[in-house]
Chain A
Amino acid sequence: MRLLKLKSRLLLVFLALTLVVSWDSSLGVCAEDPGPMVQIRETVDSILLLMRDPALASPEKSGERRTRIIKAVDIRFDFREMSMRTLGKVWDEKSEEQRGVFQKLFADLLKNNYIGRIEGYSNEEISYHKVIMDKTGSRAMVFTSVIKNTREISINYKLILKGHDWRVYDVEIEGVSLVKNYRSEFSRIISKEDYAGLIKRMEEKVRLE
Chain B
Amino acid sequence: MPKVMDLFSRHPWKSPLVAGMCFVFLGLLSPWTGHTAPGAGIGSDGSGIGYPLVEDSFFEEEDAWQEEETAVLVADPLETWNRLVFSFNDLFYSWVMRPVASGYAGVIPEPARECVSNFFHNLRTPIRLANGLLQGKIVRSGNELSRFVVNSTLGVAGLWDPAYHWLHLSGLDEDVGQTLGKYGMGEGIYLCLPFFGPSNLRDSLGLVGNYFLDPVSLLAIKYDEKIYYSVRSGEELNKASFRLDEYESFKAATFDPYSALRDASIMYRRQKVNDEDYTD
A residues with a Cβ closer than 8 A to B are: 32, 35-38, 84-85, 88-89, 92, 109, 113-114, 116-117, 127-135, 139-141, 143, 145, 147-154, 158, 173-177, 179-181, 183-185, 187-189, 191, 201, 205, 208-209
Is there an interface contact between B263 and A181, defined as CB atoms closer than 8 Å?
yes
On whether the beta carbons of B259 and A188 are closer than 8 Å, the reply is yes
Contact indicator B267/A181 (Cβ below 8 Å): yes
A128-B49, A132-B52 as given contacts; A151 in contact with B38, CB under 8 Å = yes
A129 near B36: Cβ-Cβ < 8 Å: no
- A contact patch SS: mixed
Say whether B32 faces chain A, with CB atoms less than 8 Å apart: yes
Is the Cβ of B46 less than 8 Å from the Cβ of A150? no
Q: Are A185 and B256 closer than 8 Å at their CB atoms?
A: yes
Q: Tell me the bound Cα distance from A143 to B55 in angstroms.
A: 13
Q: Report if A127-B52 is in contact (Cβ < 8 Å); known contacts: A153-B34, A185-B259.
A: no
Total A-B residue pairs with C-beta atoms closer than 8 Å? 160
Question: Which residues of B are interface residues toward A (Cβ below 8 A)?
Answer: 31-46, 48-49, 51-56, 58-59, 62, 65-71, 73, 114, 117-118, 121, 161, 164, 170, 242, 249, 252-256, 259-260, 263-264, 267-268, 270-272
- A129, B42: Cβ atoms closer than 8 Å: yes
Contacts of B164 in A (CB 8 A): 150
A88-B52 contact in complex given A130-B42, A173-B32, A180-B267, C-beta closer than 8 Å:
no
Q: Nearest Cβ distance between residue A88 and chain B, in whole angstroms?
A: 6
Across the interface, which residues of B come within 8 angstroms of A35, CB to CB?
A: 52
Least CB distance from B111 to A in Å reads 11
Q: How far apart are the CA atoms of A7 and B226 in the complex, in Å?
A: 93
**Given A109-B253, A116-B249, A176-B264, CB of A132 within 8 Å of CB of B54:** yes
Q: Report whether A128 and B46 are in contact in the complex, using a CB–CB cutoff of 8 Å.
A: yes
How far, in whole Å, are A94 and B160 apart by their CA atoms in the complex? Answer: 56
Q: Is the CB of A150 within 8 A of B66?
A: no
A114 — nearest CB in chain B belongs to which residue? B253
- Choose among B43, B59, B71 the residue that contacts A184 (Cβ–Cβ < 8 A): B71
Q: CA A181 – CA B164 in complex, angstroms?
A: 33
Q: What 4 A-B pairs are tightest by C-beta distance, nearest first?
A: A175-B271, A113-B253, A130-B48, A131-B52
In whole angstroms, how far apart are the Cα atoms of A189 and B255 in the complex?
9
28 A-B residue pairs with CB within 8 Å: A85-B65, A127-B44, A128-B49, A129-B45, A130-B43, A130-B52, A133-B53, A134-B54, A141-B58, A141-B59, A143-B42, A143-B48, A149-B114, A149-B117, A151-B36, A152-B44, A154-B41, A173-B32, A174-B32, A184-B70, A184-B71, A184-B73, A184-B259, A185-B256, A185-B263, A187-B71, A189-B256, A208-B252
Q: How far is the CA of A132 from the CA of B170 in the complex (A)?
A: 23
Cβ of A72 to closest chain B Cβ, rounded Å = 20
